[in-house]
Amino acid sequence: MGLVVQKYGGSSVADAEGIKRVAKRIVEAKKNGHQVVVVVSAMGDTTDELIDLAEQVSPMPPGREMDMLLTAGERISMALLAMAIKNLGHEAQSFTGSQAGVITDSSHGKARIIDVTPGRIRTAVDEGNIAIVAGFQGVSQEKKDITTLGRGGSDTTAVALAAALDAEVCEIYTDVDGVFTADPRVVKKARKIDHIGYEDMLELASSGSKVLLHRCVEYARRYDIPIHVRSSFSGLQGTWVGRTQGNEAMEQALISGVAHDTSEAKITVVGVPDKPGEAAAIFRAIAGAEVNIDMVVQNVSAASTGLTDISFTLPKTEGRKAIDALEKLKATVAFESLRYDDQIAKISLVGAGMKTNPGVTATFFEALSRASVNIELISTSEIRISVVTRADDVNEAVRAVHSAFGLDSDSDEAVVYGGTGR
Ligand code: ADP
Ligand code: ASP
Ligand code: MG
């Protein structure tokens, strides 16, 4: 039997009882003959609480210090988990991201993994230990500073270690029984998906299904690591994420699921002169501020004025930076004003089967219309349709779309075992 990487999210280790429960699960895997490497997140909502604390002492905390602060959350849980395992009579050692060999670039708060050199982890497991690694963190190659991988980054740590250690599987333990056709906190009739391909999972993740992080799925696809998403609170089989090609178990669904995201805001640049180069200047300024944008829409210009409006969405957390960059641009691009709206939601329908089914868009829009939900922006890819609506409409809209595509289950209601949904 080979090596398994198990990742436990914050809600699975929210308190001492949770840590002891998880410790038992880990020991079971070890007793079954596996070498076990565990990646652990900060307890409960610790990361959010640390961010709140930082904001109380400084409106713009420096990235380096912020990362130093946030990585403390995972250090607490890794040490407690190692203690709990030792208390059960098994050997365990905890390691920070840096000690585990997670090497990143220097981009604080959203560092990318450049390399993983897990020598110490390999030695620890070869000597019979269970290795516990702090998720979501690494060390920068250049400056040797402590970095974080962005919110939810422990998923990425787990897959990166699984790849570097040539693990059999990467198990992601969370507070629901797997990946569902919609967020079980919103749609009680959501269905658990048994198998899903990397492509559909990537779209769901990038559209807001935070059960798996986009970057972690990208990593898994690149190194062909099967991911098993399951609950740490139940013994049920979860969702297998993997390759679709040549995989008998993987039947391509028409629609995989509905995702929603309320973490974005919309900026509208009003009254932009409708001539070549203006949009380029706007998005160059946004890129210069290192802000990632999502959807972009330019209205048809009003012939009489020769002016147009450009809207785009971006993470709320980047709103201030983007507005500052655009204000500075006003000297060169003669737009009229800027509008910032953070009361929006994005709702996305994802499915590989969509490519060959022309009715999907119409059914999607009809469902929203029946629910009296107004559409503000639309974007599509080959296997996804997304719309922006008012944030207040999001739950209603997700449920309406889920029903319209026949995704509602008629048996068990989806169980949410823990977490606060924060
Ligand atoms: P963890 O603390 O284990 O990392 P997260 O809170 O990051 O857990 O992710 C699990 C949560 O993701 C679930 O509690 C659920 O509310 C949410 N979620 C959103 N979309 C989905 C989906 N399609 N399937 C399952 N869970 C989803
Ligand atoms: N603790 C970090 C967060 O809350 C990383 C993670 O949980 O994956 O974002
Ligand atoms: Mg998570």
Cα–Cα distance measured from residue 261 to residue 386, given in angstroms and rounded to the nearest whole number: 10
Q: What's the CA-to-centroid distance between 366 and ligand 3, angstroms?
A: 32
Average of pLDDT values for 202-219? 95
Q: Over the stretch 42-88, which tens digit does the pLDDT of each residue have?
A: 999 999 999 999 999 998 899 999 999 999 999 999 999 999 999 99
Q: What's the CA-to-centroid distance between 298 and ligand 1, angstroms?
A: 33
Cα–Cα distance measured from residue 167 to residue 5, given in angstroms and rounded to the nearest whole number: 7
Q: Over the stretch 248-284, which tens digit does the pLDDT of each residue have?
A: 666 666 899 999 999 999 999 999 998 899 999 999 9
Q: Which of 402, 405, 400, 403 is nearest to 369 (CA)?
A: 400
Q: Over the stretch 307-349, which tens digit does the pLDDT of each residue have?
A: 999 999 999 999 999 999 999 999 899 899 999 999 999 999 9
Decide: 101 in ligand 2 pocket, CB within 6 A: no
Q: Does pLDDT of 89 surpass 70?
A: yes
Cα–Cα distance measured from residue 278 to residue 257, given in angstroms and rounded to the nearest whole number: 37
Q: What is the model's pLDDT at position 355?
A: 79
| Residue boundaries of the structural domains of the chain | 3-247
Name the closest ligand to CA 157: 2
How many of the other CB atoms lie within 10 Å of CB of 80? Answer: 20
Q: How confident is the model at residue 299 (pLDDT cuts 50, 70, 90)?
A: confident
Q: Which of 86, 71, 75 is nearest to 130 (CA)?
A: 86
Residue to mutate, 81, 151, 170, 217, ligand 2, most ligand atoms under 8 Å from C-beta: 151
Q: Over the stretch 227-245, which tens digit does the pLDDT of each residue have?
A: 999 999 999 999 999 998 6
Give the chain's end-to-end CA distance (angstroms, integer).
37
How many of the other CB atoms lie within 10 Å of CB of 330? Answer: 13
What single-letter amino acid sits at 407?
L
Cα–Cα distance measured from residue 148 to residue 138, given in angstroms and rounded to the nearest whole number: 6
Q: Over the stretch 4-37, which tens digit does the pLDDT of each residue have?
A: 999 999 999 999 999 999 999 999 999 999 999 9
- What single-letter DSSP state applies at residue 129? P
Task: Tell me the backbone φ, ψ of residue 30, rounded to 5 degrees.
Answer: -65, -45
Name the closest ligand to CA 204: 1
Length of the chain: 422
Q: What is the model's pLDDT at position 279?
A: 92
Q: How many helices (H) and strands (E) does the chain have?
A: 11, 20
Cα–Cα distance measured from residue 209 to residue 204, given in angstroms and rounded to the nearest whole number: 6
Q: Does pLDDT of 303 surpass 80?
A: no
Atom of ligand 1 nearest to the CA of 418: 14
Decide: 73 in ligand 2 pocket, CB within 6 A: yes
What single-letter amino acid sits at 237?
Q
Q: Which of 311, 330, 216 is nearest to 269 (CA)?
A: 311
Name the closest ligand to CA 42: 2
Q: How confident is the model at residue 246 (pLDDT cuts 50, 70, 90)?
A: low
Structure tokens belonging to residue 110: 């959203």
143 or 1, higher pLDDT: 143
Cα–Cα distance measured from residue 350 to residue 258, given in angstroms and rounded to the nearest whole number: 6
Q: Over the stretch 383-420, which tens digit does the pLDDT of each residue have?
A: 999 999 999 999 999 999 999 999 999 886 789 998 77
Residues with Cβ within 6 A of ligand 1?
Answer: 9-12, 41, 152, 174-176, 179-180, 182-185, 209-211, 257, 416, 419, 421
Residues facing residue 174 across a β-bridge: 231
The pTM is what?
A: 0.93
Decide: 153 in ligand 2 pocket, CB within 6 A: yes
Q: Does pLDDT of 352 surpass 90?
A: no
Q: Which of 230, 226, 158 is nearest to 5 (CA)?
A: 158
Structure tokens belonging to residue 201: 């999972």
Q: Are 9 and 211 in contact (CB under 8 A)?
A: no
Q: What is the model's pLDDT at position 418?
A: 86
Give domain 3-247's CATH architecture. Answer: 3-Layer(aba) Sandwich (3.40)
Pairing mode, strands 130-134 and 35-40: parallel
Q: What is the model's pLDDT at position 97?
A: 98
- What single-letter DSSP state applies at residue 40? E
Q: What is the model's pLDDT at position 35?
A: 98
